Chain A
Amino acid sequence: MQQKTSANAAGTALTNQVSVTTIDGESSAFASLSASLAEIRKLKGVIGYILRSNTSAILDFTGPDEITENAILSSQIHDSCQEIGKQFNLGEMESVLVEGENVKVLCMSIGENNISVFMEKSATHSWIIKRILM
Protein backbone atom coordinates (compact mmCIF):
# COMPACT_ATOMS: atom_id res chain seq x y z
CA MET A 1 0.00 0.00 0.00
CA GLN A 2 1.34 3.45 -0.87
CA GLN A 3 0.81 6.66 1.04
CA LYS A 4 1.48 10.18 -0.16
CA THR A 5 2.14 13.07 2.16
CA SER A 6 2.00 16.76 1.28
CA ALA A 7 5.25 18.71 1.01
CA ASN A 8 3.93 21.24 3.41
CA ALA A 9 3.74 18.57 6.05
CA ALA A 10 7.48 18.21 5.34
CA GLY A 11 7.33 14.78 6.76
CA THR A 12 8.13 11.30 5.84
CA ALA A 13 5.42 8.78 6.34
CA LEU A 14 6.59 5.28 7.14
CA THR A 15 4.51 2.17 7.29
CA ASN A 16 5.63 -1.42 7.57
CA GLN A 17 5.17 -1.76 3.86
CA VAL A 18 5.83 1.47 2.04
CA SER A 19 7.13 4.96 2.60
CA VAL A 20 6.35 7.84 0.26
CA THR A 21 7.31 11.46 0.61
CA THR A 22 6.11 14.12 -1.74
CA ILE A 23 7.54 17.55 -1.29
CA ASP A 24 6.04 19.38 -4.21
CA GLY A 25 4.00 18.91 -7.35
CA GLU A 26 4.97 15.95 -9.47
CA SER A 27 6.34 16.40 -12.97
CA SER A 28 4.97 14.20 -15.69
CA ALA A 29 8.31 12.38 -15.99
CA PHE A 30 8.28 11.63 -12.31
CA ALA A 31 4.72 10.34 -12.51
CA SER A 32 5.53 8.19 -15.51
CA LEU A 33 8.60 6.73 -13.82
CA SER A 34 6.71 6.04 -10.62
CA ALA A 35 4.12 4.12 -12.62
CA SER A 36 6.84 2.07 -14.35
CA LEU A 37 8.57 1.37 -11.06
CA ALA A 38 5.31 0.29 -9.45
CA GLU A 39 5.04 -2.32 -12.22
CA ILE A 40 8.69 -3.33 -11.82
CA ARG A 41 8.16 -3.68 -8.06
CA LYS A 42 5.75 -6.55 -8.75
CA LEU A 43 8.42 -8.56 -10.58
CA LYS A 44 9.85 -11.62 -8.93
CA GLY A 45 13.14 -10.88 -7.21
CA VAL A 46 12.62 -7.11 -6.92
CA ILE A 47 13.02 -6.08 -3.28
CA GLY A 48 12.13 -2.42 -3.57
CA TYR A 49 12.95 0.88 -5.23
CA ILE A 50 13.70 4.52 -4.67
CA LEU A 51 12.63 7.28 -7.04
CA ARG A 52 13.92 10.71 -6.19
CA SER A 53 13.72 14.05 -7.96
CA ASN A 54 14.76 17.48 -6.69
CA THR A 55 11.39 17.96 -5.13
CA SER A 56 9.85 14.52 -4.60
CA ALA A 57 10.78 11.02 -3.55
CA ILE A 58 9.14 7.62 -3.42
CA LEU A 59 10.65 4.79 -1.41
CA ASP A 60 9.03 1.38 -1.64
CA PHE A 61 10.42 -1.35 0.60
CA THR A 62 8.89 -3.93 2.86
CA GLY A 63 10.53 -2.89 6.15
CA PRO A 64 11.37 0.52 7.68
CA ASP A 65 14.89 -0.56 8.60
CA GLU A 66 15.69 -1.27 4.98
CA ILE A 67 14.44 2.12 3.89
CA THR A 68 17.01 4.18 5.77
CA GLU A 69 20.00 1.99 4.88
CA ASN A 70 18.98 1.65 1.24
CA ALA A 71 18.28 5.37 0.90
CA ILE A 72 21.74 6.23 2.18
CA LEU A 73 23.39 3.64 -0.08
CA SER A 74 21.38 4.78 -3.10
CA SER A 75 22.35 8.40 -2.54
CA GLN A 76 26.00 7.45 -2.08
CA ILE A 77 26.05 5.38 -5.29
CA HIS A 78 24.54 8.21 -7.33
CA ASP A 79 26.93 10.85 -5.97
CA SER A 80 30.07 8.70 -6.12
CA CYS A 81 29.40 7.37 -9.60
CA GLN A 82 28.73 10.86 -10.96
CA GLU A 83 32.15 11.82 -9.62
CA ILE A 84 33.86 8.73 -11.06
CA GLY A 85 32.12 9.31 -14.39
CA LYS A 86 33.50 12.85 -14.62
CA GLN A 87 36.96 11.77 -13.49
CA PHE A 88 37.27 9.07 -16.16
CA ASN A 89 35.31 10.85 -18.90
CA LEU A 90 32.70 8.11 -19.15
CA GLY A 91 30.15 10.52 -20.63
CA GLU A 92 26.58 10.92 -19.42
CA MET A 93 25.82 8.18 -16.88
CA GLU A 94 23.29 5.70 -18.23
CA SER A 95 23.24 3.07 -15.51
CA VAL A 96 25.14 1.77 -12.51
CA LEU A 97 24.94 -1.78 -11.24
CA VAL A 98 26.31 -2.57 -7.81
CA GLU A 99 26.34 -6.27 -6.97
CA GLY A 100 26.67 -7.19 -3.33
CA GLU A 101 27.00 -10.62 -1.84
CA ASN A 102 23.24 -10.96 -1.44
CA VAL A 103 21.55 -8.14 -3.31
CA LYS A 104 22.22 -6.01 -6.37
CA VAL A 105 21.24 -2.40 -6.94
CA LEU A 106 20.51 -0.85 -10.30
CA CYS A 107 20.83 2.94 -10.37
CA MET A 108 19.81 5.20 -13.23
CA SER A 109 19.40 8.90 -13.78
CA ILE A 110 16.59 10.04 -16.05
CA GLY A 111 16.69 13.81 -16.31
CA GLU A 112 16.50 15.13 -12.77
CA ASN A 113 15.12 11.85 -11.45
CA ASN A 114 17.35 9.33 -9.73
CA ILE A 115 16.18 5.73 -9.64
CA SER A 116 17.52 2.84 -7.55
CA VAL A 117 16.02 -0.62 -7.85
CA PHE A 118 17.07 -3.19 -5.26
CA MET A 119 16.73 -6.80 -6.35
CA GLU A 120 17.90 -10.31 -5.71
CA LYS A 121 21.01 -11.30 -7.62
CA SER A 122 19.04 -13.74 -9.75
CA ALA A 123 16.77 -10.98 -11.10
CA THR A 124 17.34 -9.78 -14.69
CA HIS A 125 18.44 -6.17 -14.42
CA SER A 126 18.81 -5.66 -18.18
CA TRP A 127 15.08 -6.14 -18.61
CA ILE A 128 14.42 -3.59 -15.86
CA ILE A 129 16.66 -1.04 -17.64
CA LYS A 130 14.65 -1.52 -20.82
CA ARG A 131 11.37 -1.20 -18.92
CA ILE A 132 12.48 2.06 -17.29
CA LEU A 133 13.64 3.55 -20.59
CA MET A 134 10.39 2.63 -22.37
Chain B
Amino acid sequence: MTETYSTTLQTIINEFKNITPEITNTFIFKKNGEIIASTETTTEDQNKKLIATFNDIVDQAENIGDIETLTIQGADSQLSITSMNNRYLVNVSSRAADEKMVKMLTSVIVPTVVKLVDQISELSGSELPQVKKPEVKPVEEIVLPDEQTTQSESILDMSASFSSEPMLPEPPVNQFMIEKIGGLLVRCDIVRVDSEVIAKWHDIYGDKEITQVHIETLEGKSIICGFKPIKETSHNAKGIIQFPEKVLQALQTSKGKLVIVKPVITSQGEKIVAAKNKRQRRWNRIN
Protein backbone atom coordinates (compact mmCIF):
# COMPACT_ATOMS: atom_id res chain seq x y z
CA MET B 1 0.00 0.00 0.00
CA THR B 2 1.66 3.21 -1.14
CA GLU B 3 1.52 6.50 0.67
CA THR B 4 0.03 8.13 -2.43
CA TYR B 5 -2.76 5.58 -2.41
CA SER B 6 -3.56 6.30 1.22
CA THR B 7 -3.39 10.06 0.66
CA THR B 8 -5.82 9.83 -2.26
CA LEU B 9 -8.39 8.03 -0.15
CA GLN B 10 -7.75 10.37 2.76
CA THR B 11 -8.45 13.37 0.53
CA ILE B 12 -11.71 11.85 -0.64
CA ILE B 13 -13.03 11.06 2.82
CA ASN B 14 -12.00 14.51 4.08
CA GLU B 15 -14.28 15.97 1.41
CA PHE B 16 -17.28 14.02 2.74
CA LYS B 17 -17.91 16.56 5.46
CA ASN B 18 -17.94 19.37 2.93
CA ILE B 19 -20.47 17.54 0.79
CA THR B 20 -22.68 16.40 3.65
CA PRO B 21 -21.94 18.09 6.99
CA GLU B 22 -24.10 15.47 8.74
CA ILE B 23 -21.36 12.91 8.13
CA THR B 24 -19.45 12.73 11.41
CA ASN B 25 -16.90 10.00 10.87
CA THR B 26 -15.46 8.05 7.95
CA PHE B 27 -12.65 5.58 7.65
CA ILE B 28 -11.41 2.85 5.34
CA PHE B 29 -9.81 -0.38 6.46
CA LYS B 30 -8.46 -3.47 4.79
CA LYS B 31 -9.83 -6.93 5.47
CA ASN B 32 -6.78 -7.67 7.62
CA GLY B 33 -7.72 -4.73 9.88
CA GLU B 34 -5.18 -2.19 8.62
CA ILE B 35 -6.65 1.33 8.59
CA ILE B 36 -5.86 3.06 5.29
CA ALA B 37 -7.55 6.41 5.77
CA SER B 38 -9.57 8.02 8.52
CA THR B 39 -11.14 11.30 9.53
CA GLU B 40 -9.86 12.79 12.75
CA THR B 41 -13.15 12.57 14.60
CA THR B 42 -12.45 9.18 16.15
CA THR B 43 -9.42 7.62 17.72
CA GLU B 44 -7.51 4.75 16.17
CA ASP B 45 -8.41 2.63 19.18
CA GLN B 46 -12.11 3.31 18.61
CA ASN B 47 -11.80 2.35 14.94
CA LYS B 48 -9.88 -0.83 15.77
CA LYS B 49 -12.59 -1.87 18.22
CA LEU B 50 -15.17 -1.44 15.49
CA ILE B 51 -13.11 -3.53 13.07
CA ALA B 52 -12.79 -6.33 15.63
CA THR B 53 -16.53 -6.29 16.36
CA PHE B 54 -17.37 -6.24 12.66
CA ASN B 55 -15.01 -9.14 12.00
CA ASP B 56 -16.92 -11.17 14.61
CA ILE B 57 -19.99 -10.82 12.38
CA VAL B 58 -18.01 -11.59 9.22
CA ASP B 59 -16.75 -14.82 10.81
CA GLN B 60 -20.30 -16.05 11.25
CA ALA B 61 -21.67 -14.79 7.94
CA GLU B 62 -20.50 -17.54 5.59
CA ASN B 63 -24.05 -18.79 5.09
CA ILE B 64 -25.18 -15.47 3.57
CA GLY B 65 -22.07 -14.99 1.43
CA ASP B 66 -19.43 -12.35 2.10
CA ILE B 67 -20.84 -9.23 3.73
CA GLU B 68 -21.35 -6.45 1.19
CA THR B 69 -22.97 -3.87 3.45
CA LEU B 70 -23.97 -3.48 7.07
CA THR B 71 -26.22 -0.61 8.08
CA ILE B 72 -27.12 0.23 11.65
CA GLN B 73 -29.93 2.71 12.11
CA GLY B 74 -29.79 4.24 15.57
CA ALA B 75 -32.26 6.74 16.94
CA ASP B 76 -29.74 9.59 16.56
CA SER B 77 -27.19 8.40 14.01
CA GLN B 78 -26.57 5.70 11.45
CA LEU B 79 -23.47 3.70 10.66
CA SER B 80 -22.76 1.88 7.44
CA ILE B 81 -19.95 -0.45 6.46
CA THR B 82 -19.57 -1.03 2.73
CA SER B 83 -17.33 -3.64 1.17
CA MET B 84 -15.22 -2.49 -1.77
CA ASN B 85 -12.47 -4.52 -3.40
CA ASN B 86 -10.95 -6.17 -0.28
CA ARG B 87 -11.55 -3.05 1.78
CA TYR B 88 -14.37 -1.65 3.89
CA LEU B 89 -15.63 1.90 4.09
CA VAL B 90 -17.15 2.92 7.42
CA ASN B 91 -19.39 5.93 7.48
CA VAL B 92 -21.19 7.46 10.47
CA SER B 93 -23.76 10.18 9.90
CA SER B 94 -26.65 11.76 11.74
CA ARG B 95 -30.15 10.66 10.79
CA ALA B 96 -30.71 14.12 9.31
CA ALA B 97 -28.25 13.35 6.50
CA ASP B 98 -29.57 13.09 2.98
CA GLU B 99 -29.92 9.33 2.60
CA LYS B 100 -29.48 9.40 -1.17
CA MET B 101 -26.33 11.49 -0.91
CA VAL B 102 -24.80 9.23 1.73
CA LYS B 103 -25.69 6.16 -0.34
CA MET B 104 -24.19 7.75 -3.44
CA LEU B 105 -20.93 8.56 -1.62
CA THR B 106 -20.56 5.23 0.15
CA SER B 107 -21.91 2.87 -2.51
CA VAL B 108 -20.95 4.60 -5.75
CA ILE B 109 -18.30 7.31 -5.56
CA VAL B 110 -15.78 5.88 -3.10
CA PRO B 111 -15.95 2.29 -4.43
CA THR B 112 -15.45 3.64 -7.97
CA VAL B 113 -12.48 5.76 -6.92
CA VAL B 114 -10.96 2.81 -5.03
CA LYS B 115 -11.36 0.63 -8.11
CA LEU B 116 -9.71 3.28 -10.29
CA VAL B 117 -6.85 3.85 -7.84
CA ASP B 118 -6.32 0.07 -7.71
CA GLN B 119 -6.16 -0.11 -11.49
CA ILE B 120 -3.69 2.78 -11.65
CA SER B 121 -1.56 1.17 -8.93
CA GLU B 122 -1.51 -2.11 -10.85
CA LEU B 123 -0.52 -0.33 -14.04
CA SER B 124 2.22 1.70 -12.40
CA GLY B 125 3.59 -1.54 -10.92
CA SER B 126 4.12 -3.06 -14.36
CA GLU B 127 6.12 -1.45 -17.14
CA LEU B 128 3.98 0.65 -19.38
CA PRO B 129 4.64 0.58 -23.12
CA GLN B 130 6.47 3.74 -24.17
CA VAL B 131 4.44 5.98 -26.37
CA LYS B 132 6.53 7.60 -29.07
CA LYS B 133 5.91 11.30 -29.18
CA PRO B 134 5.13 12.52 -32.68
CA GLU B 135 7.66 14.94 -34.07
CA VAL B 136 6.26 18.42 -34.13
CA LYS B 137 7.15 20.57 -37.08
CA PRO B 138 8.15 23.97 -35.74
CA VAL B 139 5.75 26.56 -37.03
CA GLU B 140 6.13 30.21 -36.24
CA GLU B 141 2.85 31.42 -34.84
CA ILE B 142 1.82 35.04 -35.21
CA VAL B 143 -0.96 36.24 -33.02
CA LEU B 144 -2.95 39.32 -33.80
CA PRO B 145 -3.35 41.57 -30.79
CA ASP B 146 -7.12 41.73 -30.98
CA GLU B 147 -10.04 40.09 -29.28
CA GLN B 148 -10.47 37.08 -31.54
CA THR B 149 -6.84 36.01 -31.53
CA THR B 150 -6.71 36.09 -27.76
CA GLN B 151 -9.67 33.75 -27.92
CA SER B 152 -7.67 31.41 -30.14
CA GLU B 153 -4.88 31.23 -27.55
CA SER B 154 -7.23 29.83 -24.97
CA ILE B 155 -8.43 27.31 -27.52
CA LEU B 156 -4.89 26.14 -28.06
CA ASP B 157 -4.38 25.81 -24.30
CA MET B 158 -7.52 23.78 -24.02
CA SER B 159 -6.43 21.36 -26.71
CA ALA B 160 -3.80 19.99 -24.37
CA SER B 161 -6.35 19.01 -21.77
CA PHE B 162 -8.57 15.96 -21.79
CA SER B 163 -11.85 16.20 -23.65
CA SER B 164 -14.78 13.86 -23.17
CA GLU B 165 -16.30 14.94 -26.46
CA PRO B 166 -16.30 12.48 -29.36
CA MET B 167 -13.34 12.53 -31.78
CA LEU B 168 -13.87 14.92 -34.66
CA PRO B 169 -12.65 14.30 -38.21
CA GLU B 170 -9.40 15.98 -39.24
CA PRO B 171 -10.08 19.50 -40.53
CA PRO B 172 -10.02 19.65 -44.34
CA VAL B 173 -7.07 21.58 -45.74
CA ASN B 174 -7.72 24.02 -48.59
CA GLN B 175 -5.25 25.98 -50.62
CA PHE B 176 -6.19 29.49 -51.67
CA MET B 177 -4.69 32.37 -53.56
CA ILE B 178 -4.50 35.64 -51.66
CA GLU B 179 -6.46 38.66 -52.78
CA LYS B 180 -6.31 41.93 -50.92
CA ILE B 181 -9.42 43.73 -49.66
CA GLY B 182 -9.80 47.15 -48.18
CA GLY B 183 -12.33 49.84 -47.42
CA LEU B 184 -14.03 51.51 -44.50
CA LEU B 185 -16.41 48.62 -43.75
CA VAL B 186 -13.72 45.92 -43.88
CA ARG B 187 -12.58 44.64 -40.49
CA CYS B 188 -8.82 44.40 -40.18
CA ASP B 189 -8.84 41.04 -38.42
CA ILE B 190 -11.37 39.14 -40.59
CA VAL B 191 -10.53 37.25 -43.75
CA ARG B 192 -13.10 36.31 -46.40
CA VAL B 193 -13.46 32.74 -47.63
CA ASP B 194 -15.45 31.11 -50.47
CA SER B 195 -18.99 30.41 -49.12
CA GLU B 196 -19.06 26.98 -50.80
CA VAL B 197 -15.97 25.96 -48.82
CA ILE B 198 -17.60 27.22 -45.61
CA ALA B 199 -20.73 25.20 -46.42
CA LYS B 200 -18.57 22.06 -46.84
CA TRP B 201 -16.98 22.64 -43.42
CA HIS B 202 -20.43 22.89 -41.86
CA ASP B 203 -21.47 19.66 -43.61
CA ILE B 204 -18.48 17.84 -42.10
CA TYR B 205 -18.81 19.17 -38.56
CA GLY B 206 -22.59 19.45 -38.27
CA ASP B 207 -23.54 21.47 -35.21
CA LYS B 208 -19.96 22.41 -34.27
CA GLU B 209 -19.42 26.12 -34.39
CA ILE B 210 -16.70 27.31 -36.78
CA THR B 211 -15.78 30.92 -36.18
CA GLN B 212 -12.08 30.94 -36.99
CA VAL B 213 -9.64 29.64 -39.57
CA HIS B 214 -6.01 28.62 -39.33
CA ILE B 215 -3.99 30.12 -42.18
CA GLU B 216 -0.46 29.04 -43.00
CA THR B 217 1.84 30.39 -45.65
CA LEU B 218 4.16 28.17 -47.67
CA GLU B 219 7.01 29.76 -45.69
CA GLY B 220 5.62 28.32 -42.46
CA LYS B 221 4.11 31.46 -40.91
CA SER B 222 0.63 30.91 -39.49
CA ILE B 223 -2.22 32.79 -37.94
CA ILE B 224 -5.65 32.13 -36.51
CA CYS B 225 -8.35 34.69 -37.22
CA GLY B 226 -12.04 35.14 -37.82
CA PHE B 227 -13.62 34.76 -41.24
CA LYS B 228 -16.67 35.67 -43.28
CA PRO B 229 -17.93 34.43 -46.65
CA ILE B 230 -16.90 36.33 -49.75
CA LYS B 231 -19.75 38.42 -51.10
CA GLU B 232 -20.74 36.38 -54.15
CA THR B 233 -22.37 39.29 -55.91
CA SER B 234 -19.12 41.17 -56.08
CA HIS B 235 -16.69 38.37 -56.84
CA ASN B 236 -16.01 34.99 -58.41
CA ALA B 237 -14.70 33.47 -55.23
CA LYS B 238 -13.39 30.06 -56.37
CA GLY B 239 -9.88 29.38 -55.01
CA ILE B 240 -9.59 32.88 -53.52
CA ILE B 241 -9.12 34.11 -49.96
CA GLN B 242 -9.38 37.82 -49.24
CA PHE B 243 -6.99 39.35 -46.72
CA PRO B 244 -7.08 42.82 -45.19
CA GLU B 245 -3.79 44.70 -44.97
CA LYS B 246 -3.20 43.80 -41.31
CA VAL B 247 -3.35 40.03 -41.97
CA LEU B 248 -1.07 40.40 -44.98
CA GLN B 249 1.47 42.20 -42.81
CA ALA B 250 1.17 39.67 -40.01
CA LEU B 251 1.88 36.79 -42.38
CA GLN B 252 4.51 38.78 -44.27
CA THR B 253 2.90 37.78 -47.53
CA SER B 254 1.26 39.53 -50.45
CA LYS B 255 -1.46 39.36 -53.09
CA GLY B 256 -1.26 36.36 -55.48
CA LYS B 257 0.60 34.06 -53.07
CA LEU B 258 -0.77 30.74 -51.88
CA VAL B 259 -1.87 29.90 -48.34
CA ILE B 260 -3.19 26.73 -46.67
CA VAL B 261 -6.43 27.24 -44.78
CA LYS B 262 -8.26 24.93 -42.40
CA PRO B 263 -11.19 25.55 -40.03
CA VAL B 264 -10.72 25.78 -36.26
CA ILE B 265 -13.32 23.60 -34.59
CA THR B 266 -14.61 24.98 -31.32
CA SER B 267 -15.90 22.38 -28.85
CA GLN B 268 -18.35 23.15 -26.05
CA GLY B 269 -15.62 23.29 -23.41
CA GLU B 270 -13.53 25.62 -25.49
CA LYS B 271 -16.51 27.89 -26.02
CA ILE B 272 -16.97 28.18 -22.27
CA VAL B 273 -13.30 29.07 -21.77
CA ALA B 274 -13.46 31.55 -24.63
CA ALA B 275 -16.55 33.22 -23.19
CA LYS B 276 -14.84 33.40 -19.80
CA ASN B 277 -11.77 35.02 -21.33
CA LYS B 278 -13.98 37.48 -23.15
CA ARG B 279 -15.70 38.47 -19.93
CA GLN B 280 -12.32 38.84 -18.21
CA ARG B 281 -11.03 41.12 -20.96
CA ARG B 282 -14.15 43.27 -20.76
CA TRP B 283 -13.71 43.51 -17.03
CA ASN B 284 -10.06 44.51 -17.44
CA ARG B 285 -11.03 47.20 -19.92
CA ILE B 286 -13.61 48.64 -17.52
CA ASN B 287 -11.05 48.82 -14.75
Interface residues, chain A, CB within 8 Å of chain B? Answer: 66, 69-70, 72-73, 76-77, 80-81, 83-85, 87-105, 118
Residues A100 and B67 in contact, CB atoms below 8 Å apart? yes
Can you show 26 pairs from A to B with CB atoms below 8 A apart?
Answer: A69-B62, A73-B61, A73-B63, A76-B59, A77-B57, A80-B53, A80-B56, A84-B50, A84-B53, A88-B25, A89-B76, A90-B76, A91-B74, A92-B75, A93-B72, A93-B74, A94-B73, A95-B72, A96-B70, A96-B72, A99-B68, A100-B61, A100-B64, A100-B67, A101-B64, A105-B64
Q: How far is the CA of A105 from the CA of B69 in the complex (A)?
A: 11
Q: Please pick, from A85, A96, A103, the residue contacting B65 in the complex, using a CB distance under 8 A.
A: A103
Taking each of A66, A90, A103, which has the highest tally of chain B beta carbons within 10 Å of its own beta carbon?
A: A90
Q: Please pick, from A69, A76, A104, the residue contacting B57 in the complex, using a CB distance under 8 A.
A: A76
**Shortest distance in angstroms between A24's beta carbon and chain B's nearest beta carbon?**
27
The interface residues of chain A lying within 8 Å CB-to-CB of B59 are 76
Residues A81 and B64 in contact, CB atoms below 8 Å apart? no
The interface residues of chain A lying within 8 Å CB-to-CB of B75 are 90-94
The interface residues of chain A lying within 8 Å CB-to-CB of B56 are 76, 80
Q: Please pick, from B25, B42, B65, the residue contacting A100 in the complex, using a CB distance under 8 A.
A: B65
Residues A88 and B73 in contact, CB atoms below 8 Å apart? no
Q: How far is the CA of A122 from the CA of B63 in the complex (A)?
A: 17
Residues A102 and B73 in contact, CB atoms below 8 Å apart? no
Q: Say yes or no for B77: interface residue by CB 8 A criterion.
A: yes
Q: Give B63-115 interface residues, CB cut-off 8 Å to A.
A: 63-79, 92
Contact flags (1/0) for B239-274 with A, using CB distance below 8 Å?
Answer: 000000000000000000000000000000000000
Residues A66 and B74 in contact, CB atoms below 8 Å apart? no
Residues B77 and A96 in contact, CB atoms below 8 Å apart? no
The bracket for how many chain B residues form the interface is: 20 to 34
Residues A73 and B64 in contact, CB atoms below 8 Å apart? yes
Sorted nearest first, the 9 A-B pairs with minimum C-beta distance are A101-B65, A90-B74, A100-B64, A91-B75, A91-B76, A100-B65, A91-B74, A103-B64, A69-B63
The interface residues of chain B lying within 8 Å CB-to-CB of A85 are 72, 74, 79
Residues B49 and A97 in contact, CB atoms below 8 Å apart? no
The interface residues of chain B lying within 8 Å CB-to-CB of A103 are 63-65
Q: How far is the CA of A118 from the CA of B69 in the complex (A)?
A: 15
Q: Take A97-B70, A99-B68 as given contacts and tell me if A90 and B79 are in contact as well, using a CB distance cutoff of 8 Å.
A: yes
Q: Say yes or no for B54: interface residue by CB 8 A criterion.
A: yes
Taking each of A84, A101, A102, A105, which has the highest tally of chain B beta carbons within 10 Å of its own beta carbon?
A: A84
Q: Say yes or no for B60: interface residue by CB 8 A criterion.
A: yes
Q: How far is the CA of A97 from the CA of B63 in the complex (A)?
A: 15
Q: How far is the CA of A73 from the CA of B64 in the complex (A)?
A: 9
Q: How far is the CA of A103 from the CA of B65 in the complex (A)?
A: 7
Residues A87 and B64 in contact, CB atoms below 8 Å apart? no
Q: Please pick, from B61, B73, B76, the residue contacting A96 in the complex, using a CB distance under 8 A.
A: B73
Q: How far is the CA of A118 from the CA of B64 in the complex (A)?
A: 9
Taking each of A87, A88, A92, which has the highest tally of chain B beta carbons within 10 Å of its own beta carbon?
A: A88
Q: How far is the CA of A81 from the CA of B56 in the complex (A)?
A: 10
Q: How far is the CA of A80 from the CA of B55 in the complex (A)?
A: 9
**Shortest distance in angstroms between A10's beta carbon and chain B's nearest beta carbon?**
25
Q: Say yes or no for B164: interface residue by CB 8 A criterion.
A: no
The interface residues of chain B lying within 8 Å CB-to-CB of A97 are 69-71
Known contacts A96-B71, A99-B68; can you find 11 more A-B pairs with CB under 8 A?
A: A73-B60, A76-B57, A80-B54, A80-B57, A85-B72, A88-B50, A95-B73, A97-B70, A99-B69, A102-B64, A105-B64
